[in-house]
Amino acid sequence: MRDGYSTRRRLLRSLGVVGVPLTAGCSGETGPTRESETTDEVRAENEGNETEHEEPEYPDREEINGIPVYRRRYELAELPIEEWPQYGEDRILPPYCEYPDAAVVDEEIPDLRTNTVTLFDVEDDEGHHPLRTGRTMMRLVHCYRESDDERYLEKTESISEAMVEIATEQDGALYFPYTFDWRSPGGDQPLQAPWFSGMSQGAVLTAYAHLYEATGDDHYRRLADQVFRSFTNVRRTTGDIWTTVVTRTPTEFTDPGDDGPGHFWIEEYPTEPPNHVLNGFGVGLFGLYDYWLHVDREAGYDPLCAALTTVEDHIEAYREPGEISWYALSRGFRGNAHYHSTHINQFELLANLSGEERFAEAAETFRDDHPYEEYRPDRRDWA
């Protein structure tokens, strides 16, 4: 990290314009710890006694958008920059600037207005891929963080302005569309453009959280707040635009009149019933973590913990003992070694940010089920 960047950060913090104090928990206070009801012994006893429709034991429950959700309390960690979870699937190398020549970055990355940051070709169709654009923004912010070169910020601002122009606003939230047709896992549910994804919303949320962390500019905080609302605009049924749902059972929506609690899901694909794609859920969850870490500890805590609770409660549902894990709970797509290794990586990251041993244990269990296969694509080809 360059001295110029560090000096700027110290100055901005002295003016009170960069985030919140870096202390664990909500609102700058020490993070809540797990209650005694959720010890491994009690959990094991509960699992042995539960039926399909019995509710797990939780120390407390919260509401998101007026809908009660299962939510344990986690003692969240303030990970250093080298361990921030959203940089990608392979964790072999620490974050680095992928556009080292700032003089040509404007040419190297096409402008979204002229032909999208990342056009994506799909069976003779093409369109905007917001997940890739969000990750492009992250990379540019990191280059700025390392170099203090304003040209990286100028390019990021250009991308951001174009992204907002094509975004859809609903109930105070910004949603960034995929503008090409796609298909759900297994190919049984076609998705007609425009469609929206909790996975890409998570990547864009991270991009704006990092922009706010790096610059202290309230413009980026406001955008981060609007993207964050796409996660808290949770519902029990599908709608025109949705990326998060609450369900009582893994693969079925609840009755709209059901006022009981359920699990909070971040959906990569807006299908009915929901697919619950694990790696897409993880990317959305990492966006919530970055929002909690860099933008708003109080508002970000409950949705993040609800998401962690959902993953923790469904680890075994994704597992196939002795084989690769399931890509999604819908079982529409079996998955492959790449996604299995991605699940292992994500469990390790969840263990780091949450302090919950069960995620670390899941990583080892999945690794025992099938050997981890190193996957290192060109980072600019991440999908």
Report pLDDT digits (tens) over 154-210. 999 999 999 999 999 999 999 999 988 887 776 667 888 899 999 999 999 999 999
Mean pLDDT for 19-28 is: 36
Q: Which two tokens stand for residue 291?
A: 């929002």
Q: Which helix (H) or strand (E) holds 170?
A: strand 168-170
Q: Which two tokens stand for residue 294?
A: 């860099």
- Total residue length of the chain: 383
Which pLDDT score, from 0 to 100, does residue 306 have? 96
Phi, psi for residue 51 in degrees, rounded to 5: -105, 180
| Whole-angstrom distance, CA of residue 349 vs CA of residue 365 | 15
User: Could you tell me if 309 and 302 are in contact, meaning their C-beta atoms sit under 8 angstroms apart?
Assistant: no
Kindly state the DSSP code that residue 329 receives in the 8-state scheme: T
Residue 49 parent element (H or E): helix 40-49
Residue 329 has pLDDT above 80, yes or no: yes
pLDDT in tens, 73-94: 999 999 999 899 986 555 556 7
Do 207 and 134 touch, CB atoms closer than 8 A? Answer: yes
Which residue's entry shows tokens 């003692």? 75
In angstroms, rounded to a whole number, what is the distance separating the alpha carbons of residues 88 and 85? 7
pLDDT score at 184: 72
Give the pLDDT of residue 173: 97
In single-letter form, the type of residue at position 375 comes to Y
87, burial (CB in 10 Å: exposed 0-12, middle 13-18, buried 19+): buried
Q: Is the pLDDT of residue 25 over 50?
A: no
Counting residues of the chain whose pLDDT is more than 90, the rounded percentage is: 55
Q: Return the higher-pLDDT residue of 42 and 96.
A: 96
Question: How far apart (Å, rounded) are the C-alpha atoms in residues 271 and 186?
Answer: 12
* Per-residue confidence (pLDDT) for residue 56, from 0 to 100: 54
Q: What does residue 182 show for φ and ψ, rounded to 5 degrees?
A: -145, -170
Q: Inform me whether the pLDDT recorded for 140 exceeds 80.
A: yes
pLDDT above 70 as % of the chain: 73
Mean pLDDT of 252-273: 80
At 9, the amino acid letter reads R
For residue 373 the two structure tokens come to 């296969």
| Answer CATH for 58-381 from 3.40.1580, 3.40.50, 1.50.10, 1.10.3470 | 1.50.10
What is the structure's pLDDT at 209? 98
State in Å, rounded, how far the first CA of the chain is from the last one.
28
Average pLDDT over residues 331-345: 89
Say how far apart CA 293 and CA 177 lie, in whole Å.
26
Selection from 195, 219, 197, 196 nearest residue 208 by Cα = 219
The token pair that represents 302 in the structure block: 């409950």
pLDDT of amino acid 73: 94
Quickly tell me which residue has 């359920």 as its tokens. Answer: 262
pLDDT over 80 (residue 23): no
Q: At what angle do helices 357-369 and 337-354 cross, to 10 degrees?
A: 160
Tokens of 110: 């096409």
Per-residue confidence (pLDDT) for residue 240, from 0 to 100: 78
**Cis omega before residue 32 (within 30°)?**
no
Residue-wise pLDDT tens digits, 269-320: 998 888 899 999 999 999 999 999 999 999 999 999 999 999 999 999 999 9
The yes-or-no verdict on residue 39 having pLDDT over 80 is no
| pLDDT at 144 exceeding the cut of 70 | yes
Instruction: Label residue 95 left, alpha or beta by phi (over 0 means left) and psi (-120 to 50 means alpha).
Output: beta
Which pLDDT does position 235 carry in this prediction? Answer: 83
Residue type, 197: S
